[in-house]
């Protein structure tokens, strides 16, 4: 351990402003490359190439395999030369974008595009939820945030499709094989449907709801938000009501406009905290609202 610390200290002592500039340039280049290929098929190809390279290096360094080492040393240069051919479409698009808008434009356009895609996704989900509610077709849509839902995604059917109203209506049509389960949205794409979610470990929220028809779909919607920071949209098959769950709590009896507003508040980091406080502010407000509903009836 002391030797490792000594080597690290020796490395830092040799650093000068040129070394810092050198590392900064290399980091910036890799950052721009990853930014350009993010969300494309190139990411999958890059993962495969890196996996193969790491595996080959480990085998040649851990075992004495002269013939295999020679083969790897001869093949690796050809592999690196093939990278521009494999990623030719992404490289061409990136250079065209760089020529049109420059470095600053890459980041601003990327941020604007992501924000636009997110808002479009929210709108499509809200409109689809309204249509499903009118038809009393049960639905459960989960939007991943920071916590990974890979474990739940593995239980469903892989899709990797754009989020559209028509596709959501088709998924949750009662006579289709995919309607029984949850559709999970990651990075503005439906990655899987018919997914199995963990049921809520606490019935406190459901016991306090006026609508006793709420069952497994609502328990699953609450359960997934108890184990992650995801947001779930639920459409009741019995009542046709729309609900949103987050952090193990539920807000129900929503219309399309309010659903879209709530989803925007949760999925927008700049607005999530004040909006959460506004929509889930206290138990007293919820109780008072229920009393008002009973009096109106």
Q: Are residues 203 and 251 in the same domain?
A: yes
Residue 151 has pLDDT above 70, yes or no: yes
Neighbour count for residue 244 (Cβ, 10 Å):
25
Taking alpha carbons only, the member of 189, 194, 250, 258 closest to residue 225 is 250
Residue 289 has pLDDT above 60, yes or no: no
Q: Are residues 102 and 147 in the same domain?
A: no
Q: Are residues 252 and 134 in the same domain?
A: yes
Mean of pLDDT values over 200-220: 67
Tokens at 170, concatenated: 């088709």
Q: Are residues 220 and 258 in the same domain?
A: yes
Tokens at 139, concatenated: 């639905």
Q: Are residues 46 and 188 in the same domain?
A: no
Q: Are residues 63 and 126 in the same domain?
A: no
| Summary mean pLDDT of the chain | 77
More confident of the two residues 290 and 27: 27
Residue-range definition of the domain harbouring residue 157: 119-296
How distant is the alpha carbon of residue 126 from its chain centre? Answer: 18
Q: Are residues 90 and 139 in the same domain?
A: no
pLDDT, tens only, 52-81: 778 877 887 777 878 878 887 787 777 777
Q: Are residues 35 and 175 in the same domain?
A: no
Domain end: 109, 141, 163, which one?
Answer: 109
Give how many domains the chain has, as a whole number.
2
Q: Are residues 104 and 124 in the same domain?
A: no
In a domain, 114, yes or no: no
Q: Are residues 148 and 221 in the same domain?
A: yes
Is the pTM higher than 0.85? The answer reads no
Class of residue 5 by CB neighbours under 10 A (exposed 0-12, middle 13-18, buried 19+): exposed
pLDDT, tens only, 86-96: 667 666 666 66
Domain end: 67, 88, 109, which one?
Answer: 109
pLDDT, tens only, 171-181: 999 988 898 89
| Tokens 């990278």 belong to residue | 83
CB-based contact 188:141 (threshold 8 Å): no
pLDDT, tens only, 15-41: 777 878 888 888 888 787 776 666 555
Mean of pLDDT values over 236-255: 90
Q: Are residues 87 and 131 in the same domain?
A: no
| % of the chain residues with pLDDT over 90 | 29
Q: Give the containing element (helix H, strand E) for 189.
A: strand 189-195
Q: Are residues 271 and 158 in the same domain?
A: yes
Mean of pLDDT values over 228-247: 92
pLDDT at residue 135, as a whole number: 93
pLDDT at residue 141, as a whole number: 96
Domain end: 109, 138, 154, which one?
Answer: 109
Task: Give the C-alpha separation, 151 to 157, whole Å.
Answer: 13
In a domain, 61, yes or no: yes
Split at pLDDT 50, 70, 90, the class of 131 is very high
In a domain, 172, yes or no: yes
CB-based contact 250:243 (threshold 8 Å): yes
């Amino acid at each position: 351990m002391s030797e490792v610390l000594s080597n690290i200290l020796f490395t830092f002592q040799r650093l000068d402003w040129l070394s810092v500039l050198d590392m900064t340039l290399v980091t910036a280049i890799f950052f721009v490359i990853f930014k350009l290929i993010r969300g494309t098929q190139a990411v999958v190809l890059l993962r495969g190439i890196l996996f193969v390279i790491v595996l080959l290096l480990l085998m040649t360094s851990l075992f004495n395999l002269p013939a295999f080492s020679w083969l790897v040393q001869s093949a690796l240069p050809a592999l690196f030369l093939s990278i521009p051919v494999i990623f030719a479409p992404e490289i061409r698009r990136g250079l065209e974008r760089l020529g049109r808008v420059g470095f600053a434009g890459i980041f601003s356009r990327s941020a604007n595009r992501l924000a636009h895609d997110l808002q479009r996704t929210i709108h499509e989900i809200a409109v689809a939820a309204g249509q499903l509610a009118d038809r009393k077709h049960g639905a459960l849509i989960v939007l991943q945030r920071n916590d990974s839902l890979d474990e739940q995604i593995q239980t469903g059917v892989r899709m990797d499709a754009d989020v559209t109203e028509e596709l959501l209506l088709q998924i949750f049509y009662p006579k289709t094989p995919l309607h029984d389960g949850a559709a999970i949205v990651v990075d503005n794409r439906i990655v899987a449907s018919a997914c199995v979610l963990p049921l809520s470990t606490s019935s406190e929220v459901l016991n306090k709801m006026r609508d006793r028809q709420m069952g497994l779909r609502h328990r699953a919607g609450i359960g997934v938000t108890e184990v992650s920071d995801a947001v779930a949209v639920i459409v009741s098959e019995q009542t046709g009501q729309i609900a949103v769950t987050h952090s193990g709590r539920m807000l129900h009896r929503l219309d399309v406009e309010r659903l879209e507003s709530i989803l925007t508040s949760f999925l927008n980091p700049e607005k999530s905290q004040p909006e959460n406080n506004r929509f889930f502010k206290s138990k007293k407000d919820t109780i008072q609202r229920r009393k008002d509903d009973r009096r109106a009836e």
